Amino acid sequence: MSLDTTDRKILAALQRNGRMSNAELSDQVNLSPSACHRRVQRLEAEGYIRNYVALLDARKMKVPTTVFVEITLQGQAEELLDAFEKAVARIPDVLECHLMAGTADYILKVVAENTEDFARIHRQYLSRLPGVAQMQSSFALRTVFKTTALPV
């Protein structure tokens, strides 16, 4: 299915506020509530909308430090990649893991309370990941821009 202008308006509005009522959404996109509800159900059924979540404040959750960790593995064998990916998915402080093209094999986005907490995460989890040949960590000094909204 292709998205029309109304579908894109619905998706953009829900990315800004996923908790708005169907009545509020239908007003924003100029549809009747029943037509709007049917469209949202279709967008959900077809996988355009995967889930609804609450975005938490990292400072209030006491994990304001963001660290990007570049990891190079010892090799590229499928079983090594699988073992690494399964192990890294179990680390609670890792928010994202991306398989990369370029100098690093993976980039992780890790949150921590502070540098000491990151040292604990490194010691307890990262240093034990299978197949790691090299690891380089970069601390974010300040988040200039951050969004979860995809362009629609």
Question: Is pLDDT of 4 > 80?
Answer: yes
Predicted confidence (pLDDT) per residue in 87-108, tens digit: 999 999 999 999 999 999 999 9
- What residue numbers bound the domain in which 37 lies? 5-45
Query: Which CATH number characterizes residue 31's domain?
Result: 1.10.10.10
Residues 69 and 132 in one domain: yes
Whole-number pLDDT of residue 26: 98
Alpha-carbon distance values, 83 to 72, 74, 77, 86, 106 (Å): 14, 12, 10, 5, 13
The letter for the amino acid at 111 is V
Rounded Cα–Cα distance for residues 142 and 84 (Å): 29
Q: What is the mean pLDDT of residues 76-93?
A: 97
Instruction: Count the domains in the chain.
Output: 2
* Stretch 76-90: mean pLDDT: 97
Query: Does residue 33 share a domain with residue 72?
Result: no
User: Over the stretch 109-133, which tens digit does the pLDDT of each residue have?
Assistant: 999 999 999 999 999 999 999 999 9
* Mean pLDDT for the chain overall: 97
Q: What contacts 44, CB < 8 A, 6 or more positions away?
A: none
Query: Does 51 map to a domain?
Result: no
At residue 88's C-alpha, the angle toward residues 87 and 93, to 5°, is: 130
User: Has residue 1 got a pLDDT over 90?
Assistant: no
Asked if 74 and 135 sit in the same domain, the reply is: yes
First and final C-alpha spacing in the chain: 15
Which pLDDT does position 109 carry in this prediction? 98
